[in-house]
Amino acid sequence: MKQKVIPQQIALELCEEIRIANQQKRWPFYIGKMQCHFCWRFGKKAHNAGNPAKLCAFGSDDNRGCWQVNKLYDERFFN
């Protein structure tokens, strides 16, 4: 089954939602929290310049580069 392309605006909204939720997790070494931290840290400069392509979610042509965004998108739109 081919996965659907995630629209860029929806991917950005889900990314932001996940990042905020991960910041509130108590355990500092939760893998999702660490991934968000480094993704946002290294992609933030490009994102602030209006080019979010450096964020993990846009690491593939169908905007499915982040497993957390993929999971939340599939839960919300395909279940």
pLDDT one-digit tens code per residue, 38-65: 888 877 766 666 677 788 888 888 888 8
Cβ atoms of residues 38 and 22 within 8 Å: no
Is residue 23 in some structural domain?
A: yes
Q: What counts of helices (H) and strands (E) characterise the chain?
A: 3, 0
Is residue 2 in some structural domain?
A: no
Q: Would the pTM count as exceeding 0.85?
A: no
In one-letter notation, the amino acid at residue 32 is G
Cβ atoms of residues 10 and 64 within 8 Å: no
Query: How many domains, the chain?
Result: 1
Q: Which domain holds residue 22?
A: 8-78
Mean pLDDT of 63-68: 90
